[in-house]
């Protein structure tokens, strides 16, 4: 039975506590803990798809209310929750709960930015596609297969109504790039539901379950096809108006990551990091491929393909990376969870790799590191180029698994605060994963092999160009073609990756968070370890940083360094 914690009840609780400030701090602390618990439950009720991915399977098969009225209701409730949290009296000596309150407010601000200021439910198909993912029922063995089949059937039965709300909400004409990614995600789900899903449940023999599944799945496929056809029509009449503009971009940084820095200064930091990485690449290439151009040098690195393909190559790398993290004592490894490696499903091939990590309410379930094959519509040469070289893939494996996302979530799933376990921010997660690539090289991974360094720099330059493309596409009038050219010429990406990455920048303006997060973590490490032994304090720093869960990095900086913590970049 789920306990509904209404927003009106939260406000009353705050007023009651506010009126009793003379009482002992322990009562206020207990009331705050109840408030946080209630917030999480309220959030799950409104966002059941998110709840399922955290491991709360009483929400299986349920969708949010994506009607316009439902979105407005949730927006109002978020404002009420934020006001309640802001008014809550927390003793100034209770640093942990003070941080948690700021963390909770930041989560409401992030949600309200995308719901209200950016108006993403009315503008971006990706806002829905990011949430419509049935893979948890198929790849995550949290329950016996018949039970997961029943949960998937509920999901499939609910999908047509959710897609109807999606179609009704989206304003048209939409940017062509938004329609493109919508089709890639929705169209990819069609083939996945038709071809892959039935085979997962082949062994279920219950005739009633099979009949219900077949009926619901067929209806879901039909609804997806209709949505794909609608997006195809919008694709043809799509616009080039993808930019959110400088004001909204600054608001995005403030509301979602608590970064309040002039855009010119932010751009300058990213460009400096790009130039530093280009200089390091030129130096490594002089040793690795003397006399060759930088492009030929990078092509040579990428020509060394992993035996058996990228999936097999990544599997072989994980044990080596884990052993390196342990032998160098870089960061603590809690638990014994594992990460598997598989090919990405069709609807998730808009980016080269990602990892699906079970949430804090799951137990003894492996994570899955997915790697996308090349698009079969590309030329043979482009398909071959898309498969990463061994050293390029090595740092993708660092990023996704050891000691990147996978290790990050081993820590966050064990954070002292349940709130910290559930809500891990974009810049924290992607910043940490990207930070670990360079950190592992600094720690000695590859033993100075220039090919390994070029693999790391290839990944770093990709994120540098994302950073500059996000700013350029959304605040400076950059075209998709200019972004694609930058990915080819300054990140030395193959044509397929360059097209994908430039397109992503239009509908994911926050993808500068990889480099921005990395730079903030590097600055924090430098400042925190300065009087704690430098390199000798790295493990202590990493463990402390990861212990917070995943708040905006400026909050972590303040917690680790004190109120006078200095600039974040």
pLDDT in tens, 466-517: 999 999 999 999 999 999 999 999 999 989 889 999 999 999 999 999 999 9
Q: Do 463 and 377 share a structural domain?
A: yes
Among 502, 519, 536, identify where a domain stops. 519
Whole-number pLDDT of residue 317: 97
Give me the percent of the chain exceeding a pLDDT of 70. Answer: 95
- What's the chain's average pLDDT? 93
Instruction: Answer yes or no: is 264 within a domain.
Output: yes
pLDDT band at 383 (very low <50, low <70, confident <90, very high): confident
Identify the helix (H) or strand (E) that includes residue 468. Answer: helix 450-475
Query: pLDDT value at position 109?
Result: 98
> 93: buried, middle or exposed (CB in 10 Å: 19+, 13-18, 0-12)?
exposed
Same domain for 316 and 188, yes or no, is: no
**Average of per-residue pLDDT across 367-378:** 90
- Domain assignment of residue 526, yes or no: no
Q: What is the mean pLDDT of residues 422-434?
A: 97
Confirm whether 535 is domain-assigned.
no
- Structure token digits, residue 569: 């970049």
Please say if the pLDDT value at position 3 is more than 70: no
pLDDT at 385: 82
Which of 19-23, 283-287, 549-553 bottoms out in mean pLDDT, i.e. has the lowest?
19-23
* Mean pLDDT confidence for 138-159: 96
Residue with tokens 């408030």, as numbered in its chain? 35
Confidence of residue 25 (pLDDT cuts 50, 70, 90): low
Using the 3D structure, point to which of 187, 203, 236 is the last residue of a domain.
Answer: 236
Domain holding 85, by residue range, is 7-46+65-127
pLDDT classification of 45: cutoffs 50, 70, 90:
very high
- Does the structure show a pLDDT above 70 at 423? yes
Report whether 470 contacts 509 (CB < 8 A): yes
**DSSP state for residue 456 in the 8-state scheme:** H
Residues 6+ positions from 27 with CB-CB distance below 8 Å: 17, 20
Same domain, 32 and 99: yes
pLDDT at 1 over 90: no
- Mean pLDDT, residues 135-159 taken together: 96
Are 116 and 185 in the same domain?
no
**Confidence band of 346 (pLDDT split at 50, 70, 90):** confident
Query: Which band of pLDDT confidence, cut at 50, 70 and 90, is reported for residue 146?
Result: very high
pLDDT at 17: 39
pLDDT (tens digit, 9 = 90+) per residue, 54-77?
Answer: 999 999 999 999 999 999 999 999
433 and 369 in one domain?
A: yes
pLDDT (0 to 100) of residue 486: 98
Phi, psi of 357 (to 5 degrees): -115, 125
Q: Which two tokens stand for residue 306?
A: 């992993």
Return the closest-CA partner of residue 38 out of 73, 96, 84.
84
CA atoms within 13 A on the CB side of 104: 30
Same-domain pairing of 25 and 140: no
Least confident of 2-16, 202-216, 423-437, 554-568: 2-16
Task: Indicate if 161 and 192 belong to the same structural domain.
Answer: yes
Tell whether the model's pLDDT for residue 233 goes beyond 70: yes
Q: Would 99 be classed as within a structural domain?
A: yes
- Domain presence at residue 547: no
Q: What is the mean pLDDT of residues 295-307?
A: 95
Clarify whether residues 203 and 346 are in a common domain: no
Residue 525 has pLDDT above 80, yes or no: yes
SS3 call for 353 = strand
More confident call, 342 vs 15: 342
pLDDT tier at 543 (50, 70, 90 boundaries)?
A: very high
pLDDT, tens digit, for every residue of 115-134? 999 999 999 999 999 999 99
Nearest residue to 103 via CA among 527, 431, 334, 421 = 421
pLDDT attached to residue 43 = 98
Model confidence at 12, in pLDDT bands (50, 70, 90)?
Answer: very low
The pTM of the full predicted model, rounded to 2 decimals, is: 0.92
Please report the pLDDT score of residue 19 as a whole number. Answer: 43
β strands within 398-547, DSSP E:
none
**Residue 38 — very low, low, confident or very high, per pLDDT cuts 50/70/90?**
very high
Reference 513, options 426, 443, 394; nearest CA is 426
Average pLDDT over residues 240-269: 97
- What's the pLDDT tens digit per position in 443-463? 999 999 999 999 999 999 999
Q: Compute the Cα dihedral for 465, 468, 473, 479 and give only its sign.
A: negative
Residues 168, 290 share a domain: no
Check whether residue 72 and residue 211 sit in a common domain: no
**So what's the pLDDT on residue 393?**
96
| Segment 275-296 mean pLDDT | 97
Of 519, 544, 562, the domain-final residue:
519
Spatial neighbors of 332 by CB under 8 A, at least 6 apart, are 411, 539, 542, 543
CA distances in angstroms from 288 to 294, 297, 298, 458, 491, listed in the order given: 10, 7, 10, 14, 18
Tokens of 20: 């009793």
Q: Are residues 223 and 264 in the same domain?
A: no
Number of domains in the chain: 3
Mean pLDDT value of segment 215-239: 97
Residue 419 lies in a domain: yes
pLDDT at residue 100, rounded to an integer? 96
The residue ranking higher by pLDDT, 17 or 109, is 109
Given pLDDT bands bounded at 50, 70 and 90, which one contains residue 345?
A: confident
Query: Helical H runs in 170-206?
Result: 176-191, 197-200
Which among 370, 395, 417, 364 has a CA at the least distance from the CA of 546? 417
Residues 383 and 348 placed together within one structural domain of the fold: yes
- Taking the C-alpha atoms of residue 232 and residue 180, their distance in angstroms, rounded to an integer, is 8
Domain membership of residue 287 (yes or no) is: yes
Q: How far is it, in rounded angstroms, from Cα 358 to Cα 52? A: 10
* pLDDT value of position 250: 98
Identify whether 1 is part of a domain. no
Contact 314, 391 (CB under 8 A): no
- Say if residue 328's pLDDT is above 70: yes
Cα 501–chain centre separation:
15
Q: What pLDDT score was predicted for residue 27? A: 77
Q: What was the pLDDT predicted at 350? A: 66
Cis-peptide into 403, omega within 30 deg: yes
């Amino acid at each position: 039975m789920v306990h509904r914690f209404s927003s009106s009840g939260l406000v009353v609780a705050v007023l009651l506590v506010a009126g009793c400030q003379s009482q002992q701090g322990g009562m206020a602390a207990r009331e705050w803990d109840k408030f946080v618990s209630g917030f999480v439950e309220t959030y799950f009720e409104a966002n059941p798809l998110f709840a399922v991915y955290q491991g709360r399977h009483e929400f299986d098969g349920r969708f949010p209310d994506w009607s316009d009225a439902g979105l407005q209701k949730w927006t109002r409730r978020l404002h009420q929750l934020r006001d309640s949290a802001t008014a809550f009296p927390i003793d100034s000596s209770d640093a942990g709960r003070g941080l948690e309150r700021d963390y909770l407010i930041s989560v409401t601000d992030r949600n309200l930015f995308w719901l209200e200021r950016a108006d993403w439910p009315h503008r971006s198909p990706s806002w829905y596609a990011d949430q419509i993912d049935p893979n948890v029922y198929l790849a995550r063995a949290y329950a016996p297969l018949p039970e997961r089949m029943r949960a998937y059937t509920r999901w499939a039965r609910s999908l047509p109504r959710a897609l109807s709300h999606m179609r009704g909400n989206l304003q048209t004409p939409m940017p062509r790039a938004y329609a493109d990614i919508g089709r890639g995600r929705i169209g990819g789900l069609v083939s996945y539901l038709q071809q892959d899903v039935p085979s997962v449940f082949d062994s279920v023999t219950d005739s009633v379950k099979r009949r219900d599944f077949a009926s619901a799945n067929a209806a879901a496929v039909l609804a997806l096809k209709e949505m794909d056809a609608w997006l195809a029509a919008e694709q043809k009449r799509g616009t080039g108006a993808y930019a959110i503009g400088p004001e909204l971009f600054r608001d995005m940084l403030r509301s979602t990551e608590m970064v309040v820095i002039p855009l010119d200064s932010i751009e300058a930091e990213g460009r400096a990091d790009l130039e530093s990485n280009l200089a390091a690449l030129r130096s490594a290439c002089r040793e690795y491929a003397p006399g060759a151009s930088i492009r030929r040098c990078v092509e040579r690195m990428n020509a060394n393909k992993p035996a058996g393909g990228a999936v097999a190559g990544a599997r072989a790398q994980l044990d080596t990376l884990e052993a390196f993290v342990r032998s160098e004592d870089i960061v603590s490894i809690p638990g014994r969870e594992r990460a598997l490696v598989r090919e990405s499903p069709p609807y998730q091939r808009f980016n080269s790799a990602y990892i699906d990590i079970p949430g804090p309410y799951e137990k003894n379930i492996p994570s899955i590191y997915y790697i996308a094959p090349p698009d079969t519509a590309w030329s043979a040469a482009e398909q071959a180029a898309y498969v990463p070289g061994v050293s390029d893939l090595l740092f993708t494996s660092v990023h996704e698994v050891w000691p990147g996302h996978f290790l990050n979530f081993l820590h966050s799933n064990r954070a002292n605060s349940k709130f910290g376990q559930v809500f891990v921010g974009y810049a924290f997660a992607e910043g940490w994963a990207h930070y670990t690539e360079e950190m592992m090289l600094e720690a000695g991974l590859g033993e100075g092999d220039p090919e390994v360094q070029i693999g790391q720099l290839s990944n770093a330059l990709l994120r540098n160009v994302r950073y500059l493309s996000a700013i350029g596409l959304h605040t400076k009038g950059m075209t998709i073609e200019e972004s694609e050219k930058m990915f080819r010429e300054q990140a030395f990406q193959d044509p397929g990756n360059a097209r994908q990455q430039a397109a992503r920048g239009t509908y994911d303006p926050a993808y500068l968070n990889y480099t921005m997060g990395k730079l903030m973590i590097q600055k924090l490490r430098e400042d925190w370890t300065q009087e704690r032994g430098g390199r000798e304090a790295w493990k202590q720093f990493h463990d402390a940083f990861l212990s917070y869960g995943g708040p905006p990095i400026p909050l972590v900086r303040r917690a680790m360094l004190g109120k006078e913590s200095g600039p974040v970049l």
